[in-house]
Amino acid sequence: MRRCILAEVFEMPKFIHAADLHIDSPLVGLDAYEGAPVERIRGATREALKNLVQLALDERAAFLVIAGDVYDQRPLLETSLFFRGQMQRLADASIPVVIVRGNHDHAGIAPRNVVLPDNVHVLDDAKAESVLLPEAGAVVHGRSYPRPDCVADLVDGYPAPVPGLLNVGLLHTGLGSVDPEHPNYAPTSSARLSAFGYQY
């Protein structure tokens, strides 16, 4: 008698994973470089986001995930409006966006004066949350930073994978940073993440 093992087979949707956009970062110290194209460099974060959105549109991505630090600090109204405008471009094309906040754009500085389009899902900072994307055949699990100096392992409470869907785990972490000069925020391990059994 032959033993047959059936693997779960599904078509992998095309999606884009981005992080650390740091839109409108002041890039402190840039003025010290004589002859540096300061305004062009400072505008590079906006250009990067525009290019990212255009790539999602050109490739007809099923969804976009952003793993923290959309902003570098509490955003100005103009910065928030720019981000909303780019997210609206994706909304117009019915492309969902799932975001977790990181240490630079944690829940404590979340812009409250600008409402994002309905296609954008910012995951909770109090507990792990899942966003079902039925048209993509996917579900995104994640948790945002509640504060900038988060030293807890935020994957506590991430749910079990949903059978029959592409399960994407989203987290902003240093993943066991080896640099003693850089704080190890939301520390976890690749072994711990792999144990969830998510496909991505």
- Please write the tens of the pLDDT for every residue from 155-196: 888 999 999 999 999 988 877 655 666 667 777 778 888 889
Residue 41, pLDDT > 90, answer no
For residue 141, the enclosing domain spans: 15-194
Check if the beta carbon of residue 53 is closer than 8 Å to that of residue 86. yes
Confidence at 2, pLDDT banded by 50, 70, 90: very low
Residue-wise pLDDT tens digits, 105-129: 767 677 777 899 999 999 988 899 9
Range among 42-51, 62-71, 90-99, 191-200 with highest mean pLDDT value: 90-99
Q: Domain with 121 in it: what CATH number? A: 3.60.21.10
CA count, 13 A, side-chain hemisphere, 27: 17
Domain annotation covers residue 200: no
Residue-wise pLDDT tens digits, 133-155: 999 999 999 998 876 777 777 78
Domain annotation covers residue 6: no
Domain annotation covers residue 106: yes
Of 117, 107, 15, 14, which Cα lies nearest the Cα of 65? 15
Confidence at 38, pLDDT banded by 50, 70, 90: low
Q: What is the mean pLDDT of residues 48-74?
A: 91
Domain annotation covers residue 8: no
Task: Please tell me the distance from the alpha carbon of residue 15 to that of residue 145, in angstroms, as a whole number.
Answer: 23
The b/e string for 6-31 (b: 16+ C-beta within 10 A; e otherwise) is eeeeeeebebbebbebbbbbeeeeee
Domain annotation covers residue 130: yes
Range among 17-26, 58-67, 69-78 with highest mean pLDDT value: 58-67
Domain annotation covers residue 199: no
pTM of the model: 0.85
Q: Which residue has the higher pLDDT, 70 or 60?
A: 60
> Mean pLDDT in the chain?
83
Query: Residue 8's pLDDT is what?
Result: 53
Domain annotation covers residue 2: no
Domain annotation covers residue 137: yes
Q: Which residue has the higher pLDDT, 92 or 2?
A: 92
Tally the domains of the chain. 1
Query: Residue 127's pLDDT is what?
Result: 93
